C-alpha cells in the first residue's frame, strides 16, 4: 500500500531539495510493462516506477479511488524507470543498481560493465582476488554501508562462502573467500563441497577454509572508478 505519508517519506529521503507533491498514483501501462507514476499531479510529473524481477508482469487494478498493485512474485524490486537501464542481475537473480560493477569468477576471470571498464582482477592464490584500477567501493552506498559485494546463495537462501575484504591504500580491493559449511544446520542441509578425491573417496572443504568462488557462480563487486577511467573520460567529453 502506498500512502500519502509513505510517499512524502520517500521523497524526503530521496532529495530534500525536491518540493513534495501530492501522493498520486497514476497507471501509465498495465497491459505491457507495468509502469506507475508516484508523487506527481499528472502523468507528466512525479517519478515513474516499474517492477523488475522476472518476465512476469505486474497487475495494476483501479477501482474508484483505490489502486491495487499485484506483484508476480513475493520478492522483487520497485525501481525508478530511469534507473532500470543502469541495473543488473546479481548472482542470486535479483535486480540491483549496477554500474559500475565487476563480476569475479572462480579462476579469476572477470567481467566489467561499461562504467567499470579498465578495472582488472587477478587471482593471486586459492580464494584470494585483487581488483586493481579502482578507488574502493562505490561512494553512493547503494549496496549498503559495509561495501558493495554480493555472493551466491543456495536454494535455502544461505550464502555459500564467507567474504573477507579490504580496501588497500591505492584504492585496490582485496577479496578473500572461505568455505561456509553452515554447521548450525542438520547435515543434509549443510554446504558439502568436494575439494578433492582421494582413493575414490571425496574430501570436503571444512568451515572457514580458504576456497575459490564456487563453480558456476560469481561474486559481484560494485566499485568506484577514478576520474581518468574510460567511462568517466567519455562522459567528460560529452559534457
Residue 210's Cβ-side half-sphere holds a number of Cα atoms within 13 Å equal to 9
Residue 152: the pLDDT is 86
Total residue length of the chain: 239
CB contact set of 161 (below 8 Å; sequence gap of 6+): 151, 152, 177, 178, 179, 180, 211, 213, 214
The C-alpha atoms of residue 183 and residue 151 are separated, in whole angstroms, by 19
Residue 21: the pLDDT is 39
- What is the DSSP annotation of 99-168? SSEEEE-TTS-EEE-STTTT-EEEEEETTEEEEESS-SB-TT-TT-TT-SEE--B-TTS-BSEEEEEEE-
Helix (H, G, I), strand (E, B) or coil at 208: coil
Give me the tens of pLDDT residue by residue for the chain, a chain 239 residues long.
333 344 444 444 444 444 433 344 444 444 444 455 554 444 455 555 554 444 444 444 444 444 455 554 544 555 554 554 555 555 455 444 557 899 999 999 999 988 899 999 999 999 999 999 999 998 876 656 556 788 888 888 899 999 999 999 999 999 999 999 999 999 999 999 999 999 999 999 999 999 999 999 999 998 999 999 988 888 888 77
Residue 99: the pLDDT is 72
Amino acid at each position: 500500500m502506498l500512502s500519502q505519508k509513505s510517499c512524502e517519506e520517500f521523497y524526503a529521503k530521496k532529495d530534500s531539495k525536491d518540493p513534495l507533491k501530492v501522493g498520486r498514483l497514476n497507471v501509465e501501462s498495465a497491459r505491457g510493462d507495468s509502469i506507475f507514476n508516484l508523487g506527481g499531479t499528472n502523468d507528466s510529473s512525479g517519478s515513474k516506477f516499474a517492477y523488475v524481477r522476472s518476465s512476469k508482469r505486474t497487475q495494476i487494478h483501479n477501482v474508484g479511488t483505490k489502486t491495487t498493485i499485484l506483484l508476480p512474485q513475493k520478492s522483487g524490486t520497485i525501481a525508478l524507470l530511469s534507473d532500470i537501464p543502469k541495473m543488473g542481475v546479481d548472482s542470486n537473480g535479483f535486480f540491483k543498481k549496477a554500474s559500475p560493477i565487476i563480476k569475479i569468477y572462480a579462476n579469476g576471470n572477470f567481467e566489467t560493465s561499461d562504467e567499470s571498464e579498465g578495472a582488472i582482477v587477478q587471482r593471486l592464490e586459492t580464494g584470494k582476488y585483487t581488483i586493481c584500477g579502482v578507488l574502493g567501493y562505490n561512494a553512493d552506498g547503494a549496496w549498503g554501508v559495509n561495501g558493495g559485494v554480493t555472493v551466491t546463495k543456495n536454494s535455502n537462501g544461505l550464502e555459500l562462502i564467507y567474504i573477507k575484504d579490504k580496501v588497500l591504500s591505492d584504492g585496490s580491493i582485496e577479496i578473500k573467500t572461505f568455505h561456509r559449511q553452515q554447521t548450525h544446520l542438520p547435515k543434509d542441509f549443510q554446504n558439502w563441497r568436494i575439494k578433492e578425491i582421494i582413493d575414490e573417496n571425496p574430501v570436503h572443504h571444512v568451515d572457514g577454509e580458504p576456497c575459490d568462488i564456487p563453480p558456476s557462480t560469481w561474486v559481484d563487486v560494485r566499485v568506484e572508478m577514478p576520474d581518468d577511467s574510460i567511462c568517466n573520460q567519455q562522459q567528460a567529453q560529452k559534457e
